[in-house]
Structure 1
Amino acid sequence: MGDVISVVVTGAGAPGIAGTIYSLNNNPDDMKFRIISTDVKSDPVGRYLASEFYTIPPPEDKEYIRCIKGIATKENARVIIPQTTREIVLLSQHLEEFREIDVSVMVSDYSSLKRANDKYLIIKECEKAEVPYPEYFLIDNENDFLSALDNLGYPDKKVIVKPRFSSGLRGLRIISNETLSMKEFLEEKPTGLNIDLDSILKIFRNGPFPEILVTEYLPGDEYSVDVFRNANGTVAIPRNRKDIRSGISFDTEIELRDDIIKYSVKLGESLDLKYCFGFQFKMDENNVPRILESNPRIQGTMVASTYAGFNMIYYSVKEALGNSVEISDIEICDNTHIKRYWGAIAIKDANYSGKI
């Protein structure tokens, strides 16, 4: 594997861009990559971490696919590595077009992504695969919304609402009847997730009522699971999200819980996802992990699994290049810890100058 392989990495402004590039450049086979990054914004941090950079239209633009194909052709790229939720379904619908120009796209098939990106269908998939999930209601009007709250024990219990289709924390709210104590007001940073019933009803009455998933509130620890799946099997690496800020793991620790591993393997197989992807679980009051959502792409802190001993970002690229990855005799270093901090890069005369 002595040749330098050109790859296109989208989402150059995504939180995980540095981790993705690190995983590519620090792989166990010493494969050399030339990284071309792209983003809808013209000056993301990933612009300065790659060999080349292109500004591209958003996936909703009819020119998006043509633009990505043009970049891949111009740069002789072998693999497209998408990092954003908005792109993956569209790219999965054009896989044959990319094959015609000898480019692999590191995404699962369209039918798998359609289910994995749908917060309602992912729960239905859990029902089928016997993976624990929270009590839920799918609603699209105010009467059903209020009925769902009542069935879930509100106002005595907190309730979660989130759009059926969204990514990250977009649209997620915790409906609570609790009031802040003086200690909480003075000492805790606001998360922006908590909302009272009157406030969310005002939002819903301000336009067409959206399709909303209403679920029970899960009070325990939250886990992200980095998953790799190919024809040889599945590797699932859970990590406890000890500190979450704006949806990003700032403190995460590998915790090889057998139950979460089992459920992640079952769900990955049921959805027929491939390459690397992720699930999120949260513990209920009995410490049972219940599904939150699926991330059928590279996760923002997936580099944690690279440090723990299994570089699934690189192995996914290797698979996309047509090289089968053996997953026997894998040793994962439990309790591997990743802590984010507020680093930065310096730019002089539009060129990368250093980092802190």
Structure 2
Amino acid sequence: MRPITVVVTASGAPGTAALLRGLRENGEREVRLVGTDMSERSVGRHLCDAFHLVPAGSDPGFADAIRAIVEREGADCVLPQSSFDLEGLAQHRESFPVPVLVSRPDAIFRCNDKAETYAFLHRLGLPAPAFRRVSGAAEVEAAARELGYPDVPVCFKPVFSSGSRGFRVLDPTVDRARQLLDERPGSVAMRLEEAVELLPAEGGPDLLVMELATGGERTIDGIADGERVLLGHPKTREAMRAGLAMYFVTLDDPALMAIADLIVAELGIEHFFNIQLVGDHVIEINPRISTIVYQEDLDLPYLGVKRALGEITPEELVALRPRIRPGRTALRYFDQIEWDA
């Protein structure tokens, strides 16, 4: 098969090394990888065949910068990794000369706006946390008390966030001395009084105050065509470090796949997706690639690229479902590289 070139955005993301390796070790063809990132201290600079600095995904010039790289490098497709890159790419995807593996703008908006996400989950009858959309300290306090604080912990986060940024648990039993002396910086738990003190009295960013979902974490990862899940599987999400899961086990759970099908159909998600649950509650829908549990005979990122290029049909992807191996386990770990400046 002919070699292809793939532009991978946010190539400093934690999953970059495994993703690049998965694309290279596809067993069919040579894949040339072009990394982009807003930081020159990106591992993609060292692991990709070419690398380009670009503006932040929220910058109005981001899509133009990626399009110029596509044309300069003769790329065959664009594979975004970061939630922050999705909106700009989605708005301009039709202007690219090659496929951009991103859903339509309305799907991106409804996933990124967590209040909209929870509202349509409730309309679909899917389990999602009770929530209030608020801004300012006074509204945060009122919403927290409506949801049961201080009798039960609640939580809040920005309406748009990614990778646990801005997420805090409001828990009246927090031991501040223990946090100070025994825990690493960046604890996600605090008392409501502390949050009220730090937030502006009125206004500020829109926040989501919500019921605290509890229980084991699971995600559903896969490839969709805007109407259904073509190929994917659930997995556990365990051993959190610095807000990242480090241990995963694939599951055989038809009920979770049925939830994914409903969400994909409602939103019209295309290409890669990641749906996150805590206990029975759906808490995140990410219309992008996330951490993948790789198999030597089932390379999801490469298959998603082939689908975007029109080299494999939806039904051919569906036919690969029996290859998924429940119990397949992934352990993430920290690594490093060295070079002479």
Q: Deviations over 1:236-255 (max 9, x none)?
A: 31111121122211112112
Q: What does 1:1-356 align with in structure 2 at a 5 Å threshold?
A: 2-27=1-26, 30-98=28-96, 102-180=97-175, 189=184, 192-205=187-200, 208-230=203-225, 233-234=228-229, 235-283=231-279, 289-299=280-290, 301-302=291-292, 304=293, 306-307=294-295, 310-323=298-311, 324-325=313-314, 326=316, 327-330=318-321, 331-348=323-340
Q: Give the AA of the match of 1:281.
A: L
Mapped partners of 1:193, 1:87: distance in 2 = 25
The answer to whether the 8 Å contact 2:62/2:88 transfers is no
Q: Equivalents in 2 of 1:238, 1:309: separation in Å?
A: 18
**Alignment coverage as a number of residue pairs:** 336
Deviations 1:179-211 (CA, angstroms, capped at 9, x unpaired): 439988876656510011121011212773321
Q: 1:130 to 1:295 in 2, by over 3 A?
A: same
8 Å contact 2:38–2:55 — kept in the other structure?
Answer: yes
What SS is found at the alignment partner of 1:94? helix
TM-score, normalised relative to structure 1: 0.87
CA 1:60 to 1:202, structure 2 compared with 1: closer, same or farther past 3 Å? same
Q: CA deviation at 1:136?
A: 1.3
CA deviation after TM superposition for structure 1 residue 34, in Å = 0.6
Q: Deviations over 1:2-49 (max 9, x none)?
A: 211011111110111112112211225x13211111111113111111
- C-alpha contact (below 8 Å) 1:27/1:314 kept by paired residues: yes
| Letter of the 1:278 counterpart | N
Residues 321 and 271 from structure 1, CA distance in 2 versus in 1: closer, same or farther, beyond 3 angstroms? same
Structure (1/2) with the larger strand percentage: 1
CA deviation vs aligned residue, 1:259-298 (integer Å, no higher than 9, x gap): 3222122111111101111011001xxxxx1111111111
The whole-number CA distance in structure 1 between the counterparts of 2:113 and 2:195 is 22
Alpha-carbon distance in structure 2 between the residues aligned to 1:221 and 1:156? 22
Structure 1 residues 126 and 140: alpha-carbon distance in aligned structure 2, compared to 1, 3 A threshold: same
Shift of 1:161: 0.4
CA contact (8 A) 1:308 1:334 kept: no
TM-score (ref. length: structure 2):
0.91
**Pairwise CA distance, 1:231:** 6.8
| Alignment RMSD | 2.3
- For structure 1, the residue ranges without an aligned partner over 5 or more in a row are 284-288, 351-356
Contact 2:136–2:201 (8 Å) recurs in 1: no
Alpha-carbon distance in 1 for matches of 2:276, 2:261: 13
**Cα distance change on mapping 1:129 and 1:3 into 2, 3 Å:** same
Contact 2:227 2:269 in 1 (8 A): no
Runs of 4+ aligned residues of structure 1 deviating over 4 Å after TM superposition are: 181-191
Check the 8 A contact 2:34/2:49 in 1, yes or no. Answer: yes
Once structures 1 and 2 are overlaid, which stretch shifts more, 325-334 or 107-116?
Answer: 325-334
**In structure 1, C-alpha distance between the alignment counterparts of 2:61 and 2:103, rounded to whole Å:** 22
How has the CA–CA distance of structure 1 residues 141 and 332 changed in structure 2, closer, same or farther, with 3 Å as cutoff? Answer: same
Contact persistence 2:153–2:169 (CA under 8 A)? yes
The one-letter code matched in structure 2 to 1:168 is: G
Alpha-carbon distance in 2 for matches of 1:244, 1:36: 30
